[in-house]
Chain A
Amino acid sequence: MELDPKYRKGEWDVPEGYFEGFEDKVLKRLESEKSPKFKVYIQRNLKYFAAVAASLAIFIGVYTSQNKHNAEDSNFSFNDLDSSELVAFEDNVELSEEEFEEFIPEATIDSLYQSEFKIEQEVINGFSKDELEDLEEEFMPLDEDI
């Protein structure tokens, strides 16, 4: 079944000169789509970029603050602590013997022992002879400490 071909002759009404400028119009549009692509992308996703920028700002702020804090910590020395602080530190922190020697200078340890075992004469006089002998046995230095 076929339709009379006379109907093929009909033409749409097209504005004059429409097809002459068509290529230029398309190429101009292509060009404009190419160049501001990044700008349009930014505009369309502005809220995401704002969120990323805010996150970065927070991260940088926290990182900088942390570094500053660490720098302050790095100036810390055990020499600045008095003996009671060192004892408190020793009670609260588990350190191996090597770590302890690394962190705490030998002079500090010596002074710590001296201060710990320095007993006033009046206190000693207060003890009986038996009590003193017991204390002496208890605090007798080991061979390896001598």
Chain B
Amino acid sequence: MKSNQEISDNDLFRNFVDNKKPETLFRELMGRYKQKVYSQVRRILIKHDDADEVTQIVFIKLWKNADNFKFNSALSSFIYRIAYNECMTFLKQNGRFSSIDEVMDKDGHYGNIVKQGNDLDGNKIMRQLQAALLTLPEKQRLVFNYKYFDDLPYKEISEITGTSEGALKASYHHAVEKIKFFLEKD
């Protein structure tokens, strides 16, 4: 019999749902996904405190909506979808953007954090890239993050964002072009 560490994410989650949501299995799931979810959320929300709050909410939502998962897609897509939705909800609730499709750094809030390096590790390359990312429209930035940093296939990004694969490929292409232009100029 396989231990919890050896079984796939979907099988682990099935055990979790079928056995009335035991805490031990949920700990194992969080252990597998906490850093990935945090990274995705942090890249969207930039600040650690915001990312921490939303990452916790993602796992709370995962617990509460576990019965809604149909097991015909990857668990990672389900979790990233929750993360994506929670980030959008957070951005709307905090009133920083009138539309999620607007450029994220409308009021210079995040741009200043990135430029000053207050909340980054001092890595110049990272700061440069984040500054470039903040010039992108929301959709392009999201697609770039999923593709470049997480190396997710377009099919999975499509499931997360609800956008067609063709549109995602076009968004990624435009994002890379703009970032390259920004970095060369900088």
Contact = CB atoms under 8 A, between A and B. Distances in A.
Interface in B35-94: 35, 38-39, 42-43, 48, 52, 55-56, 59-60, 63
Interface residues of A, number: 23
Interface string A1-37: 1110011111111110011001101110110010000
Contacts of B127: 10
Interface residues on B, range: 35 or more
A29 B26 CA distance: 14
Contact of A11 (B23, B34, B126): B126
A2 B176 CA distance: 7
A129 B68 CA distance: 104
A15 B127 CA distance: 18
B131 to A, nearest CB: 12
Contacts of A3: 148, 176, 179-180
B11 interface: no
Interface in B1-44: 23, 26-27, 30-31, 34-35, 38-39, 42-43
B125 A11 contact: no
Given A3-B176, A23-B30, A9 B125 contact: yes
A12 B120 contact: yes
B123 A6 contact: no
A14 B48 CA distance: 7
Nearest to B23: A27
A8 B127 CA distance: 12
Contacts of B31: 23
Interface in A13-69: 13-15, 18-19, 22-23, 25-27, 29-30, 33
B177 interface: yes
A126 B176 CA distance: 128
Given A10-B125, A12-B121, A19 B34 contact: yes
A116 to B, nearest CB: 82
B119 interface: yes
Interface of B: 23, 26-27, 30-31, 34-35, 38-39, 42-43, 48, 52, 55-56, 59-60, 63, 119-123, 125-130, 148-149, 173, 176-177, 179-180
7 closest cross-chain pairs (CB), A and B: A10-B126, A13-B121, A7-B129, A10-B123, A26-B59, A23-B30, A23-B27
